[in-house]
Structure 1
Amino acid sequence: MTKITIGIVGYGRFGALLETIVQEHCPSAQLKIFSLDQAIDKKTFFSLEDTCSVDYLVLAVPIRSLVACLEQVQHLVSEHTTVIDVCSVKQFPKDQMLTILPPGGTIICSHPMFGPSTYNSKRLKSAPPLKNLKIVVELARGSEQRFNTVKAFCEKLGLQVIEMDAAQHDQMAAHFHFVSLSAASILKPLQLQKTDISTASADVLVEFLDMISTSESLLVDMYQFNPFCKQYLTMMKNSISEYLRLFE
């Protein structure tokens, strides 16, 4: 039986998490990773050309780097390769993949609604690290069979697979993902800790801040590439202004 081949372009925090997931849950697959920061050893890290010569290619790069990445891989992927993005914004990556990648291949948009912090937190509690976490997916173009294979693999991991079109995702993500990340970014510097007299709600807040990982670049990318974020930033500004007026 021919081994499934999986390529990962990008080796940041999420790319490294994908490597762990594949190694633990799909050990029979041949995994190839391309990273500008890692030397090619042809064991773990491969050239971009080799990494693109796979059944499934995951583009684990920041949103701001996606177009440059697509322009590099467009002549290296065949119609037999399924290309999957994992950006936290969906309409922009979908449009760019459909425009830049050669016709004929399968394109899947995805947004894993978790990251290394959530994964490792569940692991520390001896819980199945992916069980009941969510991933949003959409078949942008191509093979239903390949799409169903990806969904089945995600479900086998314990993930809740949610099919949703890119525009609806971006509207919902601006409402909850952008707002929650923004709130965490504001509160993290306060270094809140549980105390002997903290309330149950305060403890939940501390747990939320411990679980969520903030990234200034991710927030800026979400704001720049998801048009729905602008209205929520305005709403947050107004809310903070109303709060500050209490003390005038």
Structure 2
Amino acid sequence: MSPPSQNTLKIGIVGFGPFAQFLAKTMIKQGHSITATSRSDYSNLCTQMGISFFRNMNEFLESDNDVILFCTSILSLSQVISIIPFNFLKKPALFADVLSVKEHPRDLMLQVLPHELDVLCTHPMFGPDSGKHGWNGLSFMYDKIRIRNEDICSSFLQIFASEGCKMMEMTCEEHDKSAARTQFVTHFIGRLLGQMDIERTPIDTLGFQKLVEVVVLRNAKSKNKRLQ
């Protein structure tokens, strides 16, 4: 069966740190139009990337986006979403997130977003390091929380499906239950190894190389959160 056709979207990104920049590059490559807003000034970078950057949230919302994508840190999402002036939206949009936990953003969006706005929770299970050579075979989790416009939702999900992602539909509860175990082990080992200040050597075994990758991934995620 041939994959469904993909319509180009106008995607507004809230929080334009390294992970958002990583996603935006592929979205632009596919022909989507990107706007962005962030507490840090990324106007020069966005100009280079062909992205419209807005410091003013009102103007960002007025830019007629099909999708509003939250790429903030977990800790800042509550503050960000609570000050959004939804009355500046020109039309109902799909609101989605890419946070590494899912019940928290789902609950926030359902509590704060007007009922006529669609809600999609997602988690790309990869980042700038693991996805630097492409997304083929990498997992992408999603949960359709409140969807009326199936065309917009399908076109957004197709961004990841068309890159070869392993599309995994599951509930936010199922995601967080599984992630709680795997992320605890990953971060515990990464923190322990980080305190040991381990370094690569010319005679590393494959197992040791994998442990070093855990440390590098953990440090990269921590840096991304500080830059958002």
TM value normalised by structure 1: 0.74
Gaps of 5+ in 1: 124-128, 219-248
Amino acid at match of 1:37: S
The structural deviation recorded for 1:99 is 0.9
Q: More helix per residue: 1 or 2?
A: 1
The structural deviation recorded for 1:157 is 1.5
CA deviations on 1:93-126 (whole Å, 9 max, x unpaired) are 1111011000111100011111222223xx3xxx
2:218 is aligned with 1:215? no
Alignment of 1:201-240 (within 5 A): 201-212=207-218, 213-215=220-222
2:41 is aligned with 1:33? no
Structure of larger gyration radius: 1
CA deviations on 1:48-88 (whole Å, 9 max, x unpaired) are 23333300110111111112221222524466200001111
Query: Corresponding residue for 1:167?
Result: 173
Sort the Cα spacing of 1:216 and 1:44 in 2 relative to 1 into closer, same or farther, 3 A. closer
2:82 is aligned with 1:71? yes
Query: Corresponding residue for 1:91?
Result: 103
Query: Corresponding residue for 2:153?
Result: 147
Amino acid at match of 1:117: D
Q: Distance in 1 between matches of 2:206 and 2:67?
A: 45
Query: Corresponding residue for 1:223?
Result: none
The structural deviation recorded for 1:211 is 4.7
Query: Corresponding residue for 1:4?
Result: 9
2:149 is aligned with 1:138? no
2:93 is aligned with 1:81? yes
- Residue 44 (structure 1) aligned to one of 45, 52, 57: 52
Aligned length: 208
Choose between structure 1 and 2 for higher RCO, CA contacts under 8 A separated by at least 6 residues.
Answer: 2
Gaps of 5+ in 2: 1-6
Query: Corresponding residue for 2:3?
Result: none
2:18 is aligned with 1:18? no
Higher deviation after alignment, 209-218 or 6-15: 209-218
Q: Distance in 1 between matches of 2:173 and 2:90?
A: 28
Give SS of 1:130's match.
coil
